[in-house]
Structure formats: C-alpha cells, structure tokens
Amino acid sequence: MRTVPKSIPHPDWSVTGIPKAERRLNRSKIDLLDAKGQEAMRKVCRLAREVLDILAAELKPGITTDYLDEVCHNACVERKSYPSPLNYNHFPKSLCTSPNEVVCHGIPDQRILLDGDILNLDISLYHEGYHADLNETYYVGDRAKTDPDSVRVVETTRECLDMAIALVKPGTPIRDFGAVIEKHAKSRNCTVVATWGGHGINTEFHPPPWIPHYAKNKAVGVCKPGMTFTIEPILALGKSREVYWPDNWTNVTVDGKRTAQFEHTLLVTETGVEVLTARKENSPGGPIPMPATPNDTAKTNGATHA
C-alpha cells in the first residue's frame, strides 16, 4: 500500500482497515445535507473528477494498472485528499481497476493493458471530511477498432446511468431507478449485475440509502432535497452471475464475458438533480457511436418490427 502524509486527514479505517463509524450507522436513516455540507460535497467531487480525468489521459496500451494506481495516489495527495479505497476493509490500493470481465473491485497489479481492452477506473476521495465516488469505463487503444460487443455494453451502460439520473428529483421513489436501467439494458441484450448497487455518500463512504439497479426491487424511500448518493449500474454481455478471485476482492463474470460500469455522485436539489461529478467539456473518453444492428438497418430501409 502507498502512504498518505499524516498532514492529510485520514478516514477511520486508514490504520485498522475497519470502517467503524460506517458499521455503526442506522441503516434506516438517510442524511440530508445543509448548505455547508452540500458545498463540501461539490468541492470533493470536483477534485475527484480532476483525478479521474488525469488517470484517463494516461490510458494507453503497454502500461500497467499499478502505474495508474500510482498516478491516482499522487494526484489525490497533491489535492490534500486521501484515496478512500486505501485500506477500506483492507483493500490494498488507492483505486479499483476492472478490465474486461472484471465486474468491479479489481486490484491494480502488473498486468499490461492491451489494445482492445476496456477498463473501468473507479476512484473515491476523502477531502475535508467528505467523500466523492465516481467511475467510468474506457476503451484502451484505438477506439475505432474496438469490437462491437464491447461498444454495446459500454455505451448501453453509459446510457443507463444517464436515463436513471434523469429521474432524480424530490419525490422520486428510489426503487424507480432500477426499472429504467434494466429495461434499457434488456433492449440492448445486456444483463444487469444485480449484486452491486449505488449508495449514499457524504461524511461516510457508504451510508444509506442502497440504490438497486434492477427492476421490481423493494428499495424504500424517496428522493429528498439535500440527499447525496451514487447511481452506478454494471451491465454484462453474458450471465449476470459473478465469482471472486482468491484475493477476495476481484469480482468477475462467471462466463468470462465483458462488463462495463459508470457512476456519478448526485445531489438532490429542490427542483431536480445536480451531477456533482459531471464530465467536463475536455474530459477524456467520451461516448462513441453504437455499431449498427440488423434492426437499425431494417428501420433505415423502411421495415417495421413487431
């Protein structure tokens, strides 16, 4: 594990690996932040976006994910921030790197990234007492040569997140996000990995509420002004079942098919939603056009479908 200067505030798990305060939380109580708390979240989320963009700019074939961990760690320290994953439940690195069939929580290592890989970069920062959390899936190498199935799962996941965010406003039931995500995923022949969901985030890393990404879930509660939480769907090209590697962190698809994930930290406002980790105009790794499907071709030719 890389070290963080003592002058930077550390979360309570930095030494023991145990998030004690988080484990004591009342899971039925959802925090609503006041103006000061909301401004603190804007600041840490802005810093998190800066760090993710720095990482994305480094992506190219031939580098290792451990190199990206070093870049992330240094960028966090430069911003007087602690990388939230570091020693969280004994996670050994400063970010999660999940290539190809890795669903989530991949540990940076010496694997060399290859042209044609897809890679999820999941970063979290702790700054002045508040956490930020975001991730994106990127194409490694020549985007124009990425195989169509990889583009399908990446761009569909990106769209699922955008469609869920569009629902966020005061009064929206938390259970509604999963329905729109699963419907769109199925329309593109992708499956939702239901094990993982979004979560609250503020002075704690993973407080309530839990945000399911699948339809017909039983999540309770509605969005209220001042709530801050993440939505972070994971879609797979094959089965939604996962298995763990022996490191007890790296979570992969049982059939080896590729997956993608996207995540934003959100603030519910009086009238809608503020995407605190929104992409900037010059953020690397934006969307690319979906490959044409047989249905698209038929529609272009004037055909109809049942």
**Which residues sit in the known binding site?**
105, 122, 133, 199, 206, 232, 263
Partnered with residue 266 across adjacent β-strands are 229, 275
225, exposed or middle or buried, with CB in 10 Å at 0-12, 13-18, 19+?
middle
Question: Prior bond to 209 cis, omega within 30?
Answer: yes
The residue among 187, 198, 177 whose CA lies nearest residue 133 is 198
Q: How far is Cα 122 from Cα 233, in angstroms, rounded to an integer?
A: 13
Q: Which residues make up each annotated binding site for substrate?
A: 105, 206
Contact 137, 282 (CB under 8 A): no
Phi-psi region of 156 (alpha: psi -120 to 50; beta: other; left: phi over 0): alpha
Q: Which residues make up each annotated binding site for a divalent metal cation?
A: 122, 133, 199, 232, 263
Q: How far is Cα 180 from Cα 192, in angstroms, rounded to an integer?
A: 11
**What is the number of alpha carbons within 13 Å of residue 74 lying toward its C-beta?**
8
